[in-house]
Structure 1
Amino acid sequence: MADVAHHPGGYLGNRKLKDALLQHKALSRKGLSERLFGLLFSGLVYPQIWEDADVDMQAMELGPDHSIVTIGSGGCNMLAYLSRAPKSIDVVDLNPHHIALNRLKLAAVRHLPTHLDVVRLFGMEAVESNSSSYDTFISGNLDRATRAYWEGRRMNGRRRIEVLNDNIYRTGLLGRFIGAGHLLARLHGVELTQFVKARSLREQRQFFDTEIAPLFDKPLIRFITGRKSSLFGLGIPPQQYDELARDAAGNSIAPVLRQRLEKLACHFPLRDNHFAWQAFARRYPRPHEGSLPTYLRPENYLTIRDNVERVTVHHASFTELLRSKPAASVDRYVLLDAQDWMTDEQLNELWSEIDRTAAPGGRVIFRTAAEESVVEGRVSQHLLRRWNYLANRSTELNLRDRSAIYGGFHIYELRA
């Protein structure tokens, strides 16, 4: 695994991230909004990925002969994909904090002595021995830059790795956003952590209808959700807010957020939805409460551990990495929601490389804030003519996506 490029200056020193985010002049309203988001996005954003890896694998029909290129984010997805023992996985991300987290997760699975040690590190809270396990088993197996990242000091003087002694899922931009949501609910008399006491879908529905849904009619919440910056904590940039607003009425996206949260709370049994646990309990379920993410389940541990060396992590954009690939060499592409951020020019550059590098039977999967596919009408028909949109399968799997925060899930397959 190649060395990760670390940018101590964050967004201001990260040219790749700035190029991806900035589309308008600095002194324009949109330009200021983009730069504010860039500053927030320069730190750790997603300690846990918010795309359902199980849905991804169904959409890809992932097999052992497949080579994958995926965006890294919190790293849960690439480890889940390893449970199918694919031929190779290239992970890309523009955020160096995500790069460091992905590398840490790979090294932990490979070098910690047991599955339980991995679960202690990433699936449990308040395990004070986690940093000691890191020192003993992981530190010496990391590249220089990643080791420096995790052993660097935070503002409180403690090493960054020590966040795993407590609860990493309460940190990062998303973790703090969820915490702010809990505080806002408490200000209106609602304790969201009580949701996890529900023992059936009926009880989940009852809690949502009586406690959560009325919050979206509160003037303060409607005021907050009417501003783009209010959703920066979800990792939603200004461009993606505009996509969400297309599905909303009036100047507030509160109705859209209510609909998405309803799906998260009511459409899947709590025991089987670790996304709901993070949203409402701010932790993963304990063994008697429910199931962990795919990459932390015991039945997948040995396969994932034995295939870690098939992953390469790159501090690069998706398009940049594909330019280095031979023609017809990639089987599966996982774009998460990155295309929502892109200009038409960036989209066409990306799909030009996808079209060139796709192997026979290649598939592209991605999510969108709005319901419609972002590539239709924006990517050249010359590029899309070889690709078939699997509309019915996309709709079916979107309904199964337990993270629930996206409007659309999309699958494109290279025509035979």
Structure 2
Amino acid sequence: MAEIAPEAGFLRNGKLKTALLQHQSFSSSWLSERLFGLLFSGLVYPQIWEDPEVDMEAMELSAGHRIVCIGSGGCNMLAYLSRSPAAIDVVDLNPHHIALNKLKLAAFRALPSHPQLVRFLSQENERGNSTAFQHTIAPQLDPATRSYWQKRGLSGRRRIAVFNRNIYRTGLLGRFIAAGHILARLHGVKLSDLAQARSLREQRHFFDTQIAPLFDKPTIRWLTSRKSSLFGLGIPPQQYDELASLATDGSIAPVLRQRLEKLACHFPLRENPFAWQAFVRRYPQPHEGVLPAYLKQENYEAIRACADRVEVHHATFTELLTTKSAGTVDRYVLLDAQDWMNDQQLNELWSEITRTATPGARVIFRTAAEKSIIEGRISPALREQWNYLQPRSEELNLQDRSAIYGGFHIYERRA
């Protein structure tokens, strides 16, 4: 699979342009798509924003399964390795995500202990991390990825130096969260104070008295009525339209309030690393809460042992599947990518999924709105070959700690 240089921007990334540009040139929708593409051409997700523990339950993931998944920040792929799959193919259109996935895999292979891994991948203000990279991790990387992390920016610092500080405060998502904190502070609310809550009741009180009123502020309602306001969450124009379909007054502020309420109130803070990143902008310390699945000590040895079973590709999901033989894939993880697709792209994707799926294979994905994106859009001939596990989907959607999606969906290949 051909690679693309991580320095290549949106204008040179043909795969990303094809995925994003759906409208005629110079229309308002085309301009929105192009602006999103320019933002998306850098690092977007330093971490994923889908709960891999829900994913593994939905897939009933076990040893020997062969998986194709979208890379994003790489945390999901690493978590899946804890179940000892036979192989994982990771695809992503963003070359910065490719470099990050390869770095995280190399860290598991190279760093000799779990504490050193956690120090490198999750703790802030660890100035020895770039040294650990240079002496231990870099030799595990291919030349292009090693060069990417060693490249110096305008500040004169190498890219890898971000791990000395806090990588989760970088990228499009990290900057969006920072902007949200600044906006809240301008309205007198310090979001990180949620970390002081010691119970779900206290979390609820903080949300109701401090966070919820923000969504009634004219400035915030004005901002959230514009598509570009959510580009920092990695939400493209097509996905914004899905969210807007749930709104009644032109602003999606009530929809965002509902999603943030789930994140802040539905799970104990100690058990939700997504809430820590959103409200505190870091992962918890051991006395404060749990780390994400891929960083838990009980998963370390299994992930490390399986790290060589992953291949990372700069490719679309459909493109990668065309290289697979029929009946050779057991599990598919689409994240929310289908929200970006037109009907032709959906049918091309599901044609390849159906061709490559083993009997009983499962596909999981998320949607901005509640309904499944493929119902009524893929051909009846394809749809009839899959069972929609709707009750189980709805059950697991309630358990998804990331909280930002409207729907979680599981489809199973009929035997």
Residue of structure 2 equivalent to 1:254: 253
Which residue of structure 2 lines up, in the alignment, with residue 56 of structure 1? 55
8 Å Cα contact 1:92-1:316 kept in structure 2 = yes
1:362 paired residue number: 361
**Other-structure match for 1:351:** 350
Task: State the match for 1:388 in structure 2.
Answer: 387
Structure 2 residue aligned with 1:376: 375
Distance in 2, Cα, partners of 1:26 & 1:399: 40
Matched, 1:273 2:287: no
What residue in structure 2 maps to residue 15 of structure 1? 14
Deviation of 1:133 after TM superposition, in Å, equals: 0.2
Could you list the per-position Cα deviations for residues 44-64 of structure 1 after superposition, in whole angstroms to 9, with x for gaps in the alignment?
000010000000000000011
Counterpart Cα distance in 2 of 1:384 and 1:29: 33
Residue 7 of structure 1: how far off its partner (Å): 4.1
Paired position in structure 2 for 1:156: 155
Instruction: Report whether the alignment pairs 1:136 with 2:157.
Output: no
The 1:3–1:140 alpha-carbon spacing in structure 2 relative to 1, beyond 3 Å, is farther
> 2:305 is matched with which residue?
306
How far does residue 156 in structure 1 lie from its aligned partner after superposition?
1.1
Distance in 2 between residues matched to 1:46 and 1:4, nearest whole Å = 19
Residues 67 and 89 in structure 1, CA contact (< 8 A), matched pair in contact too = yes
Q: Secondary structure of the residue that 1:354 maps to in structure 2?
A: helix
Q: Which deviates more from structure 2 when the two are superposed, residues 35-44 or residues 108-117?
A: 108-117
Contact 2:6 2:148 survives alignment (8 Å):
no
The residue matched to 1:80 in structure 2 has which SS? helix
Report if aligned partners of 1:368, 1:374 keep a CA contact under 8 Å in 2.
Answer: yes
Residue type matched to 1:110 in 2?
Answer: R
Partners in 2 of 1:296 and 1:5 — Cα distance?
29
Contact 1:335 1:367 in 2 (8 A): yes
Partners of 1:164 and 1:326 lie apart in 2 by 39
1:415 Cα offset (Å): 1.1
Query: 2-side partners of 1:154 and 1:349: how far apart?
Result: 39
1:248 Cα offset (Å): 1.1
Q: Is the 8 A contact 2:2 2:314 kept in 1?
A: no
Is 1:151–1:161's contact at 8 Å kept on the other side of the alignment? Answer: yes
Q: 2:112 and 2:168 mapped to 1: Cα distance? A: 23
After superposition, what is the alpha-carbon deviation per residue over 1:364-383, rounded to whole angstroms, capped at 9, x for unaligned? 00000000000001111111
Aligned length: 415
Amino acid at match of 2:364: I
Are the aligned partners of 2:21 and 2:33 in contact in 1 as well (CA < 8 Å)? yes
TM-score by length of 1: 0.99
Tell me the secondary structure at the aligned position of residue 349 of structure 2: helix
Give matches, 1:213-228, under 5 Å: 213-228=212-227
Unaligned runs of 5+ in 2: none
User: Is residue 24 from structure 1 mapped to residue 23 from structure 2 by the alignment?
Assistant: yes
Q: Which amino acid aligns with 1:387?
A: W
**How is 1:288-303 mapped onto 2 (pairs within 5 angstroms)?**
288-303=287-302
Q: Aligned partners of 2:140, 2:385: CA distance in 1, in Å?
A: 43
Query: Which range is displaced more, 242-251 or 326-335?
Result: 242-251
> How many Å separate the matches in 2 of 1:228 and 1:408?
20
Q: Displacement, 1:26?
A: 2.4
For 1:129 and 1:65, the matched residues in 2 are separated by 37
TM-score (norm 2): 0.99
**1:411 aligned counterpart, secondary structure:** strand
> Following TM superposition, by how much is the alpha carbon of 1:122 offset from its aligned partner in structure 2, in angstroms?
1.1
Q: How does 1:101-140 map to 2 (within 5 A)?
A: 101-140=100-139
- TM-aligned CA deviation for residue 3 of structure 1: 8.1
Structure 1 portions without partners, runs of 5+? none
- Tell me if the contact between 2:102 and 2:312 (Cα under 8 Å) persists in the aligned partners: yes
Q: Deviating runs (4+, > 4 A) in structure 1?
A: none
**How many percent identity over aligned positions?**
71
Instruction: Verify the 8 A CA contact 1:4 1:146 in the aligned structure 2.
Output: no
Distance of 1:307 and 1:234 partners within structure 2: 31
Q: 2:414 maps to what in 1?
A: 415
Q: Output the amino acid matched with 2:76.
A: N
Q: Any idea what the Cα deviations from partners look like across 1:246-273, whole Å, max 9, x if unmatched?
A: 1111110000000000000000000000
DSSP 3-state at the match of 1:307 = helix
Letter in 2 for 1:150: W
Partner residue of 1:34? 33
Structure 1 contact 3–145 (Cα < 8 Å) conserved: no
Does residue 1:75 correspond to 2:61, yes or no?
no
- Letter in structure 2 aligned against 1:185: A
1:5 and 1:145 in contact (8 A); partners too = no
